[in-house]
Structure 1
Amino acid sequence: MSPLLPSSHLQGQVDTQQRISLSIGLRPQHQDSLNHYIQNVVHITSTNHSGFLTPIQYPTTYSPTETTYRALIQFLQNTGFTITHTYNHRLLLDFNGTVRQVEQAFHILLYTYKGPDGQRYYANNSDPLLPVRFANDIVAINGLNNALHWHPTQLLARRITTIAPTPSHSTCPLPNKDYLTPDQFATAYNLNGLYHTHIRGEGQTLALFELSPFAKSDIMTYDACFVKSHTIIQEIRVGKHLKSDEGALEVETDAELALSALPQLKVLKIYEAGNDVTSYLSQWARIIQDAPAVISTSWGLCEKALDAATIRQENILFAMAAAQGQTIFASTGDTGSAGCLGDTTIPLKSIGIDDPASQPFVTSVGGTSLSLKDTSTYSNETTWNTTREPPKGYNGASGGGISQYWVGPTWQNMPGVRNAYSTNKVCNAPVGKICRETPDVSLHANADHGYIIYCSAKATKTCSNNTPWNVVGGTSASAPLWAAVATLANEVSLRQGGHSLGFINPLLYQIARNPQKYSACFHDVMKGNNDNNGLNDGRYPATRGYDLATGLGSYNGYPLILTLVALARQRKGS
């Protein structure tokens, strides 16, 4: 049931003829064996690494049986529901029906509530029931409430009102002290050495998880100015509930920044779905089924707003991604250690972190503030936190903190991980363990000297046809630029006869535990904190090594990529 119910007000029953979309999540088979396999496949020192599973191999061994899946489909159809989508991995089943059918099939009643933010939503106030024969197979029935809406984590700083002409294009922006161009970024974070050896994304695919439609022409305009790529941009719509809103700026930010760091990327897959729990999970199920090597998402929701069943369903899909060798990056949000501050549905505004960044099979990406020596040479970084500066409409701070759901994974181990703020209480971890900490890594996110992107009113009313060039920041910019590094590392590995790197967190922490490699591959951020406007007594400060403000720090691209590939080749079977 929705965690919002205790703070909401009952309004009445839902129209029983209203049609709603739902899904049922299923458990994989042989969970202990699957956990063991994943541990072997992601750990560098494992002697049992036998390679990643393919999307064909996973269902054969670990998916729910075809018999169970067919029986569940038959049950739903006999009850009057319409099956809207099935998946090869059989971990999710999409369907729709009327409220009356839902109430009769699952022995519940749906009511309308007014949430703490004043928004109305429907929800069940008791747990649903299913036939006993499915008891051990079902994780959750998703869509019994429509209270949840994910938020993008990008910040629009300002629109650029004057554009100096260039010889090649009359409206393309020149380098400027107020924003970063792709060339400046590549120099500052040391990607040019790879570009000079023709490692620029050739032959690679990057996927973006999005919850809004967008204007493809905007991305092409940006590309014509800064990248001039021949990338195939595939728009993949999941479901029928997409609504145009300000989220289009997020989609275009993700796509344009990904292209800026991958000038010869072969395919950019942009998945889109409606902003509700059923569509959200359906999109992840589709992405995991399609198995692109690297995925980035800049949409999040405070852990405290999510019910445990949705979190578990995500985790099942992300575990499959790890077994298949997929790499997932997620931004940690822009409200610092007060991770629920941006979620108007949550009355408690103190400590909290965002999902899916907190998930143990996801690489969580926080934010820094980058300083340059001249126009593009790296100087230093501090924790991104502008929340105590005069209000500008785009103040923010690097998301980071402690998960209330997940025990700290064994790979999350280096100086700084166990710190004065570490605890086993909020996630009920066993004695001797601590809870999962975020972020894992960070990158420049300060909108004061942010990234330039193109967004017109074709995409969203937030953008303008008259001033379509915008300066943006936030951790949503950091996530796709980390995904670009993983994509470049895959290209290097494949050229050397290896495989895609897959879930890279164990590799990142392995590098960071070696002082020489850590110094060469990362910029350790040791100044500032991510306390949002003093709400949390200075939590959390940046320190030497790992910290809850910036994780391991930002990347020094060229040596990090070469080191990641070298470590990945040490895995047996790689």
Structure 2
Amino acid sequence: MLSSTLYAGWLLSLAAPALCVVQEKLSAVPSGWTLIEDASESDTITLSIALARQNLDQLESKLTTLATPGNPEYGKWLDQSDIESLFPTASDDAVLQWLKAAGITQVSRQGSLVNFATTVGTANKLFDTKFSYYRNGASQKLRTTQYSIPDHLTESIDLIAPTVFFGKEQNSALSSHAVKLPALPRRAATNSSCANLITPDCLVEMYNLGDYKPDASSGSRVGFGSFLNESANYADLAAYEQLFNIPPQNFSVELINRGVNDQNWATASLGEANLDVELIVAVSHPLPVVEFITGALPPVLRVLALQTQLPSSSGDFQLTVPEYYARRVCNLIGLMGLRGITVLESSGDTGIGSACMSNDGTNKPQFTPTFPGTCPFITAVGGTQSYAPEVAWDGSSGGFSNYFSRPWYQSFAVDNYLNNHITKDTKKYYSQYTNFKGRGFPDVSAHSLTPYYEVVLTGKHYKSGGTSAASPVFAGIVGLLNDARLRAGKSTLGFLNPLLYSILAEGFTDITAGSSIGCNGINPQTGKPVPGGGIIPYAHWNATAGWDPVTGLGVPDFMKLKELVLSL
């Protein structure tokens, strides 16, 4: 009797559905996105399961050991096999069995991702959700606001994508700050012209590059990420080099996640990518440059055999980025740091914020920091304006993270700002809108706008800028610093922030004038009103002595930085 009872119970357990738990959930549809209609069950969808990394609770301590000057292990970066040994990916066995049981057969493995194609109907049942179509401007995406996974898979799965991460509307073919210029002759800049347009020679002067000549064979390389198939243009780079008397140099391309290298001006989206490659070459020529082009999948799914530094200009308001997603991306960036890779990100061009409204369903006014610049394992690059001297750019995004606590390396610098450079009344007033205990950003800055940078897009001359220009400029300088170290028999700089906030702080020119603005109902990028945007009177950050949430530690002085990094 007992045996038959147990047998019957076992059969019942096989027939019962697995206990599911909500893995990710949005309280509201992200700002700017509108539900159009539910997807048809017969529509197809391609999804990726991000397998969890193990031992990530040890990531910060390992980064601290390898990236802190004075530590015996400083600069002894790991290779990919070391990463896989210390932070292994969870087994995919149970995940594959789960998909097979659901009748899903189009499955492939790519690094820590399990990719599969299915119908919306199957996906809805598999994740106990409802996929729908949403629109933001010209962009339409298939997304959901929550999904669940079986309880026994929660230790194996970080997240499923694309699901609850909506992202921002796709960039236009040209940078949002690009303005067409008349055709100009081939020339080199004079000091007086730098007050009108920023050229490669201006950058040499502004950041004290001197007559330093890097060695293309040193091993220092600069990579940059281009998303949604945006592609830098070979012909435009050649025209830029000819315009400014830079010896001819091309760049290589690696395609990731169905990326496409589109060299057709009529169809390509190239504004940000051209800005990246032209400014990187302007600063670091002739160091090798690599463009990583990804397809339509979000940045968490990038699987990069990366170079020594990677700048990016693709960010989102942190409040619209699901926390699971943000932490996954940030941890991957931390793992890259362990490999000796410096990852840079523009802080953003919206000052304190644009929408300035919480995304938790309460619709409370709130400062809106950007992601991934708020990740503590990335070096966020803010913006300055003017020339000789530079001052803070009012559109430079900065502030404090709502997701990530203040990292160890910036405790002194941020405490100095909060204790000595912001009044008690202001701090009390702002505390309802921001998290002063969070990671402060940006870390550093470089020229962004006013005057604009001169660039070449679709064969024509444009002026462009923003922190999307500051990031590749700073990346080029890091490339030069790595070149100097490698030629001296030393390692690359890798995860840069602990070094920045200690020894290298002396190698920056502090920016103490100007401020950022925002949360005034106007989008700083477009100058247009923000529908439903939160209004926070008097919202701004001032540039001050030391670190501040507009320009970070300041702008680089290459010659000073070179001497400092060679002393390590």
Measured against the shorter chain, the TM-score band is 0.7 to 0.9
Which amino acid letter does the alignment assign opposite residue 418 of structure 1?
Answer: L
Shift of 1:176: 6.4
Deviation at 1:209, TM superposition (A): 1.0
**Equivalent residue of 1:192, what SS?**
coil
Where 1:501 maps in the other structure, the secondary structure is coil
Whole-Å Cα distance in 2 between the matches of residues 60 and 188 of structure 1?
44
Call closer, same or farther: CA 1:220–1:181 in 2, change over 3 Å.
same
Residues 553 and 201 of structure 1: CA distance in aligned 2, closer, same or farther (over 3 Å)? farther
- Aligned-pair distance for 1:296? 0.3
Q: How far apart are the structure 2 equivalents of 1:118 and 1:282?
A: 24
Question: Within 5 A, what are the aligned runs for 1:84-233?
Answer: 84-87=108-111, 90=112, 92-113=113-134, 121-130=141-150, 132-145=151-164, 147-149=166-168, 154-164=175-185, 177-195=195-213, 198=214, 202-211=218-227, 212-226=230-244, 228-229=246-247, 231-233=249-251
Change (3 A) 1:33 1:345: closer
2:439 aligned to 413, 436, 452, which one?
Answer: 436
TM-superposed CA distance for 1:110, in Å, is 1.8
1:244-323 matched pairs, under 5 angstroms: 247-266=269-288, 268-275=289-296, 278-283=297-302, 286-287=303-304, 290-323=305-338
In structure 2, the partner of 1:449 is 451
Residues 15 and 538 of structure 1: CA distance in aligned 2, closer, same or farther (over 3 Å):
closer
Q: Which runs of 5+ in 1 are unaligned?
A: 169-173, 372-378, 386-396, 457-464, 570-574
| Structure 1 position 252, deviation (Å) | 0.3
> What's the counterpart of residue 55 of structure 2?
30
Which residue does the alignment assign to 2:527?
none
- The alignment partner of 1:544 has SS state of coil
Residues 1:72 and 2:95 aligned together? yes
Map of 1:389-428 to 2, 5 A cutoff? 397-415=395-413, 416-419=416-419, 420=422
Structure 1 residues 247 and 485, CA, compared in 2 at 3 Å: closer, same or farther? Answer: same
1:6: Cα distance to partner?
7.8
Alpha-carbon distance between aligned partners in 1 of 2:186 and 2:434, rounded to the nearest angstrom: 59
Shift of 1:365: 0.5
Alignment correspondent of 1:383: 392
Q: Which residue of 1 aligns with 2:517?
A: 531
Structure-2 residue corresponding to 1:557:
558
Decide which of 233, 237, 240 is 2:258's aligned counterpart: 240
Is 2:487 the counterpart of 1:495?
A: yes
Q: In structure 1, what is the Cα distance between the partners aligned to 2:489 and 2:30?
A: 56
User: How many Å apart are 1:472 and its aligned residue?
Assistant: 0.9
Structure-2 change in CA distance of 1:361 and 1:34 (3 Å): closer
Shift of 1:369: 1.3
- Cα distance in 2 for residues equivalent to 1:151 and 1:565: 41
Q: Deviations for 1:173-205, whole angstroms, at most 9, x for unmatched residues? A: x9565212211211221112423xx46785422
> How many angstroms apart in 2 are the aligned matches of 1:487 and 1:223?
19
**SS at the partner of 2:517?**
coil
Kept in 2, the 8 Å contact 1:151–1:301? The answer is no
Query: SS state of the match for residue 382, structure 2?
Result: strand
Deviations 1:507-539 (A, max 9, x none): 1110366xxxx2xx2111111110138655152
Distance 2:309 2:167 in 1: 26
Q: How far apart are the structure 2 equivalents of 1:339 and 1:107?
A: 34
Question: CA shift at 1:105, angstroms?
Answer: 2.2
Q: 1:177 to 1:46 in 2, by over 3 A?
A: closer
Residues 251-276 of structure 1: CA distance to partner in whole angstroms, max 9, x if unpaired?
Answer: 1001100001011112x11112235x
Contact 2:139–2:170 under 8 Å retained in 1: no
Q: CA deviation at 1:111?
A: 3.0
- In structure 2, what is the Cα distance between the partners aligned to 1:342 and 1:189? 37
The one of 462, 476, 500 equivalent to 1:470 is 462
The question of 1:337 aligning with 2:355 is answered: no
Q: Secondary structure at the match of 1:299?
A: coil
- Structure 2 residue aligned with 1:354: 370
Q: Deviations over 1:472-501 (max 9, x none)?
A: 110010001111111111111111111111
Deviates more, 1:342-351 or 1:546-555: 342-351
Aligned equivalents of 1:532, 1:313: Cα separation in 2: 29
Q: Secondary structure at the match of 2:185?
A: coil
Label 1:102 to 1:37 Cα distance change in 2 as closer, same or farther (>3 A). Answer: same
Contact residue 84 and residue 94 of structure 1 kept, 8 A: yes
Indicate the SS of the match to 1:264: coil
What is the distance in 1 between the residues matched to 2:155 and 2:278?
A: 44
Structure 1 distance, partners of 2:470, 2:70, is 29
CA contact (8 A) 2:353 2:519 kept: no
> Does the 8 A contact of 1:208 with 1:297 survive in 2?
yes
Query: Per the alignment, in what secondary structure is the counterpart of residue 59 of structure 1?
Result: helix
Q: How many pairs does the alignment contain?
A: 507
Amino acid at match of 1:440: D
Q: Distance in 2 between matches of 1:300 and 1:321?
A: 18
Question: C-alpha deviations, 1:289-334, integer Å up to 9, x for none?
Answer: x031100001110001111111011012112112212101100111
Unaligned runs of 5+ in 2: 1-24, 521-535
RMSD: 3.4
Separation in 1, partners of 2:510, 2:338: 30
Matching residue of 1:572:
none
Shift of 1:504: 0.7
Counterpart contact for 2:543–2:549, Cα < 8 Å:
yes
What SS does structure 2 have at the residue aligned with 1:445? strand
Contact 2:399 2:440 in 1 (8 A): yes
Distance in 2 (alpha carbons) for counterparts of 1:428 and 1:122: 31
Alignment check: 8 A CA contact 1:295 1:329 kept: yes
1:511 corresponds to 2:503 = yes
Question: Alpha carbons of 1:203 and 1:120: their partners in 2 closer, same or farther (altered >3 Å)?
Answer: closer
CA distance 1:205–1:119, change in 2 (3 Å): closer
**TM-score normalized by the length of structure 2:** 0.80
TM-score (norm 1): 0.79
Change over 3 Å in CA distance of 1:455–1:37 after alignment to 2: same
Match of 2:341 in 1: 326
Shift of residue 453, structure 1, vs aligned partner: 0.9
The reply on whether 1:545 has 2:546 as its aligned counterpart is: yes
**Structure showing greater Rg:** 2
Query: What amino acid is the match of 2:49?
Result: I
Aligned partner of 2:179: which letter? R
